[in-house]
Amino acid sequence: MKMNKTLESLASQVNSMKKFGDAIVFERISDSFGEKGERPDLLIIGEAPGYEEVRIGKPFVGRSGKLLDKWIQIFGIKDYVITNVVKSHPTDAKTQYNRKPTDEEIAYWKPVLEKEIKALKPKAILCLGDVAYRTLTNSSKTITSVIKSGLRFDYNGIPVIVYFHPSYLLRNKDYDWKPDMLKIKDALDSLKSQSKL
Ligand code: URA
């Protein structure tokens, strides 16, 4: 697949960017940059790669990714790209466990995400979790309140849908996400019928 030139240079920029604390840089970020070409129907934005993602070099390949795959199947969308706000693996220096990205880390990577969106020109965006939501909106609303109110917004003219991060739902096993997925599918179908996808 022909690489998008802007994304290609962004990928090499990312690989030379510094890491935070002992965060591990997602060295093979280029794997997820532009491999599905420009103007994907959907850009899915997560938080940050984890251990498995860094090992394999692709976003969402671990347990969260398996759940995300089920959701994508429900949406019935084939032309999508998955990325993260933070391109390095946030690890706790002492425990070596995953940690939440810091505000400083998010601010550091935000311009990369902005350039990525500009170059990809997705027809719609799905924000997974509060980090992705806050990065696109600068809002301090909680993700739960945003999802409950069904709030949708535009990011530079691109329709954005917000949902919980899959890892949150893996920790809250009693929560039935299926009805939510059907609602998101409806929203995507409606964009499709307006020829926005
Ligand atoms: N969680 C994320 O937000 N991104 C990944 O790539 C994997 C898990």
Taken in order of first residue, the domains within the chain and their CATH numbers are: 5-192 (3.40.470.10)
Token pair 């350039």 is found at: 115
Q: Give residue 60 CA to ligand 1 midpoint distance, Å.
A: 5
Which residues, listed in sequence order, are joined to residue 144 by a DSSP beta bridge? none
Give the pLDDT score at 20: 64
Least confident span in 23-27, 50-54, 86-90, 160-164 = 23-27
Our mutation pick for probing the ligand 1 site, out of 53, 86, 128, counting the most ligand atoms within 8 A of Cβ, is 53
Give the pLDDT score at 153: 87
Distance from C-alpha of 26 to C-alpha of 161, rounded to nearest angstrom:
26
Q: Give residue 52 CA to ligand 1 midpoint distance, Å.
A: 9
Q: Give residue 82 CA to ligand 1 midpoint distance, Å.
A: 9
Pocket flag, ligand 1, residue 49 (CB < 6 Å) = yes
Give the pLDDT score at 71: 98
Question: Measured between alpha carbons, how far apart are the two ends of the chain, in Å?
Answer: 21
Cα–chain center distance at 36:
15
The residue among 51 and 155 whose pLDDT is bigger is 155
Give the pLDDT score at 124: 96
Average pLDDT over residues 85-111: 87
- Residue 156 neighbours by CB under 8 Å, 6+ apart: 117, 118
Pocket flag, ligand 1, residue 82 (CB < 6 Å) = no
Q: What is the pTM of this model?
A: 0.90
Give the pLDDT score at 88: 84
> Phi-psi bin for 100: left (phi > 0), alpha (psi -120 to 50), beta?
beta
> 154-197 pLDDT, tens per residue?
999 999 999 999 999 999 999 999 999 999 999 999 998 888 78
pLDDT for residue 114 is more than 90: yes
> At 47, is the pLDDT very low, low, confident or very high (cuts 50, 70, 90)?
very high
> At 27, is the pLDDT very low, low, confident or very high (cuts 50, 70, 90)?
very low
pLDDT for residue 145 is more than 80: yes
The residue among 78 and 95 whose pLDDT is bigger is 78
Pocket flag, ligand 1, residue 90 (CB < 6 Å) = no
Radius of gyration of the chain (CA): 16
Ligand 1, atom nearest to 64 Cα: 8
